[in-house]
Structures are given as structure tokens and as C-alpha cells.
Amino acid sequence: MSHHPVLIEATELDRLRRSATPPLIVHVGDADGYARQHIPGAVFLDYADINANAPPTAGLVPDAASLSQVLSALGVDGHRHVVAYDDHNGGRAGRLLYTLEIAGHPQARMLNGGLTAWCNAGLEVQREPVTPEPGDFRVQWNDTPIATADYILEHLDDDDVVLLDVRSLDEYHGTDRKAARGGHIPGAVNMEWTLAIDEDQRMRTDDDMRAQLEGLGVTPDREIIVYCQTHHRSAHTWALLKAMGYPRVRGYPGAWSDWGNREDTPVEE
């Protein structure tokens, strides 16, 4: 089965990086991981640079001016294709794709399986850092991928909207509490995000995965809102659903660190 344009396989990326018009390859993560090994030509993006915090809420989307500065320094412009990857299960790369869509630059894909898949394919890596050539990217803000707490509150009883909580089952039931209150958003269904990752760290976009999602009511005809603790894990699920052809998918920046620490939001355990 051919992959959706959201994903790119390691062998295809290796071919494209050697072409006359290579994509901008971005290693999303931490400096130590990048220094150990990265894809040849890949530039480094500190994951923290695409997250904003307003304690106790974490994992918010930075404002347009900050994003424009970060993405331009990375080498992003309005034309060059971006390929994101990480060495940490794909959540960080998924968050960059999510951020780029908000920023109005949807010409981005995610390396399926990240650095693990790259290395498993026996492809070359390097340790030398790559200095980005700065671009001139100005964010054209797109709210469509974003679900806020207010938006969710307005749609709690909307049969057209499904809330997909991708945290652990203990977090979902509130026995593992990471905010002032534990539990989940009323009506949310649960599927831990790692169930969508195979043993090679690649996304499971197969028929079994689709059947599992649809068994939870997560169907392509409905709007899906994904969330976790800070929209790290659920950014991977956002990318998964986009890769599977779901047309209406939103992520909740701040996620449970927002909802669980507010006093005006209902909670179920």
C-alpha cells in the first residue's frame, strides 16, 4: 500500500537529499541526540523552540512573530519542502508538522520511523553539525488545526466531534495524575499513542489500525480532536490520522496540562 504524502520512507528521502533540489531535512529533538548522529545535511531544531509555556500549562503554540523567527533561522522559506524526523518515536517530528500547518507552510512530510528507520535501512549518518542557511519565512496563521479549551467545551455534546485521548490508561482514568485534577475530558475515548507505532518505530497505517480507530468511533466522517498531556504524543496521532486520510483533525495545544489545571472544565475518571 502506498503511503500518504504526510509520510516519506527512508529510501525515498535518501534519494531526494541527493537530488538537485533537496528538501530541508530537520532533526527535531535535543542537542545531544543530534550530536551523536543525524541524517547527512539535516539541520537541528531544539524541540523547545516550537513549544511555549504558561505554567502550569505547557506545549502551547508560540506566537506568529516567534515562529517566524525560529523557522526562518532554520532555513524554512515559502517554497522549499520540509522533511521532519526525530530519534524519539516521532512525537517531536509530528509536532513540527503540526506547527508548520498552523504557520501556513503545509509542504512538509515526516520520515516514517525517524532515525531508527533510517539506520535500520543501513543509510549513512553523520556527526558534524550543519549550519542552516537562513530563510525568510513569515507565518500566515492558520487556526484550523487548533482546538482550544473553549472550542472543546462548545462541542462536548456534538456527535460530529470525537475526542481521542492518547495518554496511558492510568492517565485517562486519573490514577496517574499529572495536573491538579486527574481523569479525562468527558466523552473522550482512549487509545495509547504507542499502539500506532510498530516494532521498527514506523506508523501503523494498516487496516488493523483503521479498524481499531473506527471501533472507538474515530471515523473519517467526523472531526477528531486529539490530546495528551502537552500535545507531544498526540502530535504523532495528529500526523497519523492525516496520513490515513482523515480530513478533519485538530490538536489541543496545552492539552491536559491546560484542561486538568483549570477550574471551569468538566472532568471524568
Instruction: For residue 188, name the pLDDT band (cuts at 50, 70, 90).
Output: very high
pTM of the predicted model as reported, rounded to 2 decimal places: 0.95
> Does residue 205 register a pLDDT over 90?
yes
Measured CA to CA, the distance from residue 187 to residue 162 in angstroms comes to 8
More confidently predicted of 1 and 266: 266
Same-domain pairing of 160 and 253 = yes
The residues, any chain, with a CB within 8 Å of residue 197's CB and separated by 6 or more, are: 89, 90, 203, 204, 236
Same-domain pairing of 114 and 205 = no
Same-domain pairing of 105 and 153 = no
User: For residue 151, what pLDDT is reported?
Assistant: 98
210-262 residue pLDDT tens: 999 999 999 999 999 999 999 999 999 999 999 999 999 999 999 999 999 99
The residues, any chain, with a CB within 8 Å of residue 167's CB and separated by 6 or more, are: 184, 190, 192, 193, 228, 229, 233, 256
CA torsion 83-29-182-222 (nearest 10°) is 0
* Catalytic residue flag (residue 119): no
Residue 268 lies in a domain: no
Same-domain pairing of 84 and 188 = no
User: For residue 106, what pLDDT is reported?
Assistant: 77
CA torsion 137-143-230-173 (nearest 10°) is -160
Residue 210 lies in a domain: yes
The whole-chain average pLDDT of the chain stands at 96
Measured CA to CA, the distance from residue 269 to residue 267 in angstroms comes to 7
User: For residue 4, what pLDDT is reported?
Assistant: 59
Mean pLDDT of 133-151: 96
More confidently predicted of 184 and 1: 184
**Residues 82, 228, 240, 255: which is the catalytic one?**
228
Report the CATH number at residue 230: 3.40.250.10
45-96 residue pLDDT tens: 999 999 999 999 999 999 999 999 999 999 999 889 999 999 989 999 999 9
Residue 131 lies in a domain: no
Work out the percent of the chain whose per-residue pLDDT is above 90. 96
CA 9 to chain centre: 17
Residue 264 lies in a domain: no
The count of structural domains within the chain is 2
CA 47 → CA 31, 59, 66, 94, 254, distances in Å? 10, 10, 14, 11, 15
Q: What is the DSSP letter of 184?
A: B
Q: Residue 25 is part of which domain span?
A: 7-120
> Does residue 195 register a pLDDT over 90?
yes
